[in-house]
Amino acid sequence: MPKVLWIGCSDSRVSEHQLTGSKPGTTFVHRNVANIVAFKDANVSTLLEYGVEYPGIEDIIVCGHTRCGGITAIVDGVREHYIADWLCIATGAEQAADRITKERKLNRE
């Protein structure tokens, strides 16, 4: 039974098995564009509830990666169709990251 839940990007270049060296069946996996964990996303909520309740997941990993197309689309302000609806979930995180970055720059000066 898997003991780790991996939430990662749907980008096929980022394989949890290659990154962790784990064997098939040891990791419970969920992927989506930009590896977003959204508060009101029934899919992620169900995954978390099931993973913790039934196989007994002990660790949860949310893994991003460099040059993520989803994150680039958030920064660039993509407005097309479903992808824009999905990525708007992460705009609060983008704003928080921008605020933290500005604060750190001010503290260094």
Q: CA 67 to CA 54: how far, in whole Å?
A: 35
Is the CB of residue 34 less than 8 Å from the CB of residue 87?
yes
Task: Indicate which residues carry an active-site annotation.
Answer: 9, 11, 13, 65, 68
Q: What is the DSSP letter of 22?
A: P
Q: Are 10 and 32 in contact (CB under 8 A)?
A: yes
